[in-house]
Chain A
């Protein structure tokens, strides 16, 4: 039962949504401005999109960003899934809790701390800063979220599934690839997804560990914004908004899929 809400409550919500979305839509609206600034809308034009697509440096950076996001989330998903399997296999709850709190350190640490401490680490190892260091950092800060997404699926898995597979003569590799991993797929997909968005969203860590030659979108926007407004960034943000919308839709779809399966299971039992 949903109780009826006073009109003021709804007005409040409407204002809240307006506040949350108006800067974003303002940014997108300005990208169609024929003029050179965000102010004084002087007519509809796609000129800044043209600029964007003929700006090779910018396109290279967009490509960098997506390559880093894809590679880092893929590797983080693999390591994180194995980590979750490892944590799950620990029987002593004391050790399990220690592992879980260690896992969560990077999730709660401020970006600046992660960035600065990684910078010290890479310098000590003598690694040159650039693609490699950015990729490693992104893998590192994405692993814990993958673990957190996979672990609940493991916990709700019925252990007799594994017993049955073993009784039927499956070796441990078959148990893993034929029983456990397929069962975990929705959790792994959600983890991959979160890792991907973490990587796309990151600014501070990348800013610390990237060298001169390599740049991602967020870092590039930062350095351009410090020099002043350029509507090319607005055009880019409009495109990024669409991509975010697609990602959210994708994530929503995965979630729906998960809960649909859960419901089906519930009905089967009931």
Chain B
């Protein structure tokens, strides 16, 4: 094909300018001091001071909790959905909220969780004193999990939906109980979906920064919040890029751990 080169010009420009260059620039920037000299100080700052390491572990811990909660809630949903009659339609309804701007959904929770918000009204109706709900760690995890749920349900649903029905019937015919069928047939066969879901939820959970600001009230600091802070508030791009590099490494590790395994047992 002669016009192959022609096809490639805009696309490779994009690859070089917007995929390659920014990442390399960020890596370079992480070795620059505020006065633009080469330095390892940013990495020393990050690894040397307890603050940043603690922030990183906190961020990973929160992301882990968010992923765990989403997984626990989403797996049964995906499983039950796959048994419904008009499952594609119901799945579309699950995906629909992801088309609504993230900011709007977060904003809804400000109204629901605030001091004299609707949930506190409900708590008062039950006869309890109103609680401080907004600006707590729990509210951050709750809202983040709410936003991530569809991204977990979708891949798990797809993998469950692909399971050959006759495998499940065979399992029952051979005398397995419901629980055994679930443990030995459905769960292993949906493992790839679970891995994809974990990947889709864990990486964004490390970097969410607007939810920490609006719902967590600056109490929760994730890697994403720290990057935003250094880039847009304190203007220390070097340190911000260093945290960015750490986030990229965390992302690569997550992807390596959750990538699709080769099918075993095909002898």
Contact = CB atoms under 8 A, between A and B. Distances in A.
Interface of A: 1-3, 5, 9-10, 12-13, 16-17, 19-21, 23-24, 26-27, 30, 37-39, 78-80, 82-83, 85-86, 89, 102-103, 105-106, 108-114, 116-121, 124, 136, 139-140, 143, 172, 176, 197, 200-201, 203-204, 207-208, 217-218, 221-222, 225-226, 229, 233, 237, 240-241, 244-245, 247-248, 252
Nearest to B15: A102
Nearest to A114: B22
B3 A172 contact: yes
Given A112-B228, A113-B244, A244 B207 contact: no
B104 A240 contact: yes
A5 B77 CA distance: 13
Interface stretch (B48-56, B95-103, B156-164, B182-190): B95-103
Interface of B: 1-4, 6-8, 10-12, 14-15, 17-19, 21-23, 25-26, 29, 73, 76-77, 80-81, 83-85, 90, 92-97, 99-112, 114, 116-118, 121, 146, 149-150, 165, 199, 203-204, 206-207, 209-210, 213-214, 223-224, 227-228, 231-232, 237, 240-241, 244, 247-248, 251, 255
B80 A5 contact: yes
Contact of A120 (B3, B7, B29, B99): B29
B101 A225 contact: no
A39 B111 contact: yes
A258 to B, nearest CB: 13
* Nearest 3 CB-CB pairings of A with B: A38-B111, A83-B11, A117-B22
Contacts of B25: 117, 120-121, 124
Contacts, number: 227
Contacts of B2: 172
Contact of B207 (A23, A112, A124, A217): A112
A128 B49 CA distance: 35
Contact of A83 (B10, B118, B210, B224): B10
A203 B210 contact: yes
Contact of A102 (B19, B103, B146): B19
A117 B23 contact: yes
A237 B107 contact: yes
A85 B117 CA distance: 53
B26 A26 contact: no
Contacts of B81: 13
Given A203-B103, A233-B107, 4 more contacts: A24-B104, A113-B26, A176-B3, A221-B101
Given A110-B207, A110-B224, A86 B109 contact: no
Contacts of B73: 16
12 contacts: A82-B6, A82-B11, A108-B255, A110-B206, A140-B14, A172-B3, A197-B99, A203-B103, A217-B103, A222-B103, A237-B107, A241-B100
Nearest to A144: B19
Nearest to A21: B97
B10 A82 contact: yes
B248 to A, nearest CB: 6
Nearest to A176: B3
A252 B89 CA distance: 10
Nearest to A23: B108
B7 A85 contact: yes
Contact of A229 (B77, B110, B204, B247): B110
B83 A2 contact: yes
Contact of A119 (B15, B23, B80, B231): B231
